[in-house]
C-alpha cells in the first residue's frame, strides 16, 4: 500500500511521550484506528514496531490462532531510523524518517458478536513502510 500520489489524503498524527523508563514515538495514518509505527527507546536504543489499531472492534492478532486485539505492535526487521535529535521530554518538535519490514500478522475483515465463532479465515499480512514524520511531545503525566 502506498499513500504516494493519492487524491484522498489520509490524516497522519505523530507524538512522543515517556512511560516509566521508556521514551516512545508513535505515528499513524487514521483518526481513531489506523496503521503506522511505534519506536521505543530503551537505554537510548530504538526498537521499531509496526503499529496497528482497530477502531470499533478487535481485529488484529500476531498469530493465526491468537486472541484478536484492538492494538498490536508487530516486530520489524530491516529497519532504519533517522532523527533530527534524540527525543527529550518537553521539546517542541522532532523530525525523522523510519523504514521497516514488519513480520507477519493477521487481520479479520468481518465483525463478530461477543461469543460468536469466527467463520472466515484471517488475512495474513506483512507491511513494508517508509515514513517521513514530524513528531510533537505529549505530556502523559497530566
pLDDT digits (tens, 9 = 90+) for 103-140: 999 998 766 656 666 657 889 999 999 999 999 999 88
Number of compact structural domains in the chain:
1
Tell whether 3 is covered by a domain. Answer: no
Please give the average per-residue pLDDT across 90-103, as a whole number.
92
Tell whether 57 is covered by a domain. Answer: yes
pLDDT digits (tens, 9 = 90+) for 41-57: 998 899 999 999 988 88
Range of the domain at 75: 12-137
Please give the average per-residue pLDDT across 13-17, as a whole number.
94
More confident residue, 44 or 73: 73
32 — pLDDT class (breaks 50, 70, 90): confident
Tell whether 113 is covered by a domain. Answer: yes
The answer to whether the beta carbons of residues 10 and 2 sit under 8 Å apart is no
Tell whether 101 is covered by a domain. Answer: yes
Q: How many residues does the chain have?
A: 142
The answer to whether the beta carbons of residues 84 and 94 sit under 8 Å apart is yes
Tell whether 28 is covered by a domain. Answer: yes
All three cell numbers of 55: 477502531
All three cell numbers of 84: 533530527
More confident residue, 68 or 104: 104
- Mean pLDDT score of the chain, rounded to an integer? 88
* Sheet containing 123-125: order of strands: 60-61, 105-107, 123-125
Amino acid at each position: 500500500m502506498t499513500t504516494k500520489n493519492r487524491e484522498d489524503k489520509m490524516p497522519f498524527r505523530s507524538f512522543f511521550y515517556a512511560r516509566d523508563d521508556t521514551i516512545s514515538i508513535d505515528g499513524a495514518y487514521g483518526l481513531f484506528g489506523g496503521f503506522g509505527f511505534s519506536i521505543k527507546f530503551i537505554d537510548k536504543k530504538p526498537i521499531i514496531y509496526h503499529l496497528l489499531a482497530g477502531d470499533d472492534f478487535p481485529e488484529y492478532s500476531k498469530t493465526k490462532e491468537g486472541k484478536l486485539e484492538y492494538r498490536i505492535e508487530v516486530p520489524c526487521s530491516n529497519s532504519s531510523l533517522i532523527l533530527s535529535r534524540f527525543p527529550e521530554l518537553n521539546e517542541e518538535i522532532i523530525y525523522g524518517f523510519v523504514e521497516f519490514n514488519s513480520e507477519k500478522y493477521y487481520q479479520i475483515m468481518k465483525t463478530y458478536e461477543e461469543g460468536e465463532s469466527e467463520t472466515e479465515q484471517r488475512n495474513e499480512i506483512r507491511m513494508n513502510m517508509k515514513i517521513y514524520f514530524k513528531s510533537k511531545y505529549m505530556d502523559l503525566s497530566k
